[in-house]
Structure 1
Amino acid sequence: MSTKYKAITTEEAYFVTITTVGWVDVFTRLNQKYNIINSLKYCQDNKGLEIYAYCIMPSHIHLLCKGTNGFVLSDVTCDFKKHTSKGIIKTIIDEPESRREWILPYFQKTCAHLKRIQNYKVWQDGYHAEIVETNWFIKQKVNYIHNNPVRDKVVTLPEDYYFSSARNYAGFENELEIVLLDLF
């Protein structure tokens, strides 16, 4: 398996993108966004995940983060994806969801080709991770992460998007505590 875009070290931070299969807009629902927030909190508390910036978009998640305390980010990401997949499917089944009749069959169909038996596939294979090597790269990626909802015309200002660390950096109420970087 290629390691070109994998977080395989424990010392460096990475810019990570995790995307749903078919870019399905799963995270348009508040309950699904909280599935992600709660899982990220769990990873922070129990899996050594240190987050510097994040944004939950409708079909993907951006993180600037690293594994600490001996946790390798690739393992944390794998566990995160497994756990959130189950939570996403459970939420679609158990809670009101107008898209249930097409989204569940879609997630079933996406795993039909897999060798390992699996009922649903929510996330694309792997994830995209780029190692952080310079302050310029950090600033560029944090700005990219925070401006994602602005580019999609969801909000006018990055700090207006509730499920983004732009709120943390602006000193606003937020759902997920992060490690603030002193680069701005």
Structure 2
Amino acid sequence: MDNIFKPGYLIRDQQAIYYMTFTIVGWIDIFSRRVYKDMLIASLKFCQEKKGLNLHAYVMMSNHVHLIASVKPGHSLSVFVRDFKKFTARSILDYIENETESRKEWMLHQFKYYASRHTRNEDYQIWVQDNHFVELFGPDFTQQKIDYIHDNPVRAGYVYDAADYVYSSASNYEEKESIIDVDCLWF
């Protein structure tokens, strides 16, 4: 019998390079504020240092994040995903609960609502549980995904030139100043 519910996209090869999308529940614009974007950058840097993360490309939009990533030998991409989502969710919630956040009640209500729809959650859910991961095969397909990631802020009207968007690896690929190191994939 076919399963009518998609379990998400599986990471079949833990050492392959994947295009990944992480989405905030309800498409809530959490990353419209710099503090939350900086939390993600700090977490990615930690994962590069301690979890074997090879970050090849990324963009952070207002309610989702795209990455192209792999891990060093001896590490697991699935472990990176689990730990990254868990840590960033806890960090975001801690900030909302303990700092000045004008959207506090609304956001906590939304995160509680989405948590109530899944038995795996306790109180709040920040990230959509079903991840969108695609293993990258070949340079043309990989370049297409890199271009898609870098063009996101341009399509959204945030910037005219992709390399001008701070929370993207487009500047890394143009060998300009960036906020995080990226292992560029050159073809």
How would you bin the TM-score normalised by the shorter chain? over 0.9
Secondary structure at 1:62's aligned position in 2?
strand
Structure 1: 5+ residue stretches without partners: none
After the TM superposition, which residues 3-18 of structure 1 pair with which residues of structure 2 at under 5 Å, given as runs? 5-18=9-22
1:30 and 2:8 are equivalent in the alignment: no
* Equivalence for 1:47: 51
Return the alpha-carbon distance in structure 2 between the equivalents of residues 148 and 7 of structure 1: 24
The count of residues paired between Structure 1 and Structure 2 equals 183
Return the alpha-carbon distance in structure 2 between the equivalents of residues 9 and 94 of structure 1: 39
Name the amino acid aligned to 1:99: R
Name the amino acid aligned to 2:173: Y
Return the alpha-carbon distance in structure 2 between the equivalents of residues 126 and 49 of structure 1: 21
Q: TM-score, normalised by structure 1?
A: 0.94
Deviates more, 1:100-109 or 1:67-76: 67-76
* Equivalence for 1:178: 182
After the TM superposition, which residues 133-144 of structure 1 pair with which residues of structure 2 at under 5 Å, given as runs? 133-144=137-148
Return the alpha-carbon distance in structure 2 between the equivalents of residues 126 and 40 of structure 1: 20
Secondary structure at 1:50's aligned position in 2?
strand
Return the alpha-carbon distance in structure 2 between the equivalents of residues 69 and 49 of structure 1: 10
Shift of 1:95: 2.4
C-alpha deviations, 1:76-125, integer Å up to 9, x for none? 10111011000011111222221112011110111113324511100001
1:85 and 2:89 are equivalent in the alignment: yes
1:63 and 2:71 are equivalent in the alignment: no
C-alpha deviations, 1:128-184, integer Å up to 9, x for none? 11001110011100000000000100111100100000011122221110112222x
Secondary structure at 1:110's aligned position in 2?
helix
Secondary structure at 1:16's aligned position in 2?
strand
Q: 1:108 to 1:67 in 2, by over 3 A?
A: same
Return the alpha-carbon distance in structure 1 between the equivalents of residues 120 and 147 of structure 2: 39
Query: Which consecutive aligned stretches of 4+ in structure 1 deviate over 4 angstroms post-superposition?
Result: 1-4
Secondary structure at 2:185's aligned position in 1?
coil
1:121 and 2:122 are equivalent in the alignment: no
Secondary structure at 2:59's aligned position in 1?
strand
Return the alpha-carbon distance in structure 2 between the equivalents of residues 172 and 112 of structure 1: 44
Q: 1:163 to 1:138 in 2, by over 3 A?
A: same
Return the alpha-carbon distance in structure 2 between the equivalents of residues 118 and 179 of structure 1: 36
Name the amino acid aligned to 2:89: S
Deviates more, 1:143-152 or 1:7-16: 7-16
* Equivalence for 1:156: 160
Return the alpha-carbon distance in structure 2 between the equivalents of residues 121 and 156 of structure 1: 34
Q: TM-score, normalised by structure 2?
A: 0.92
C-alpha deviations, 1:63-83, integer Å up to 9, x for none? 011122222212210111011
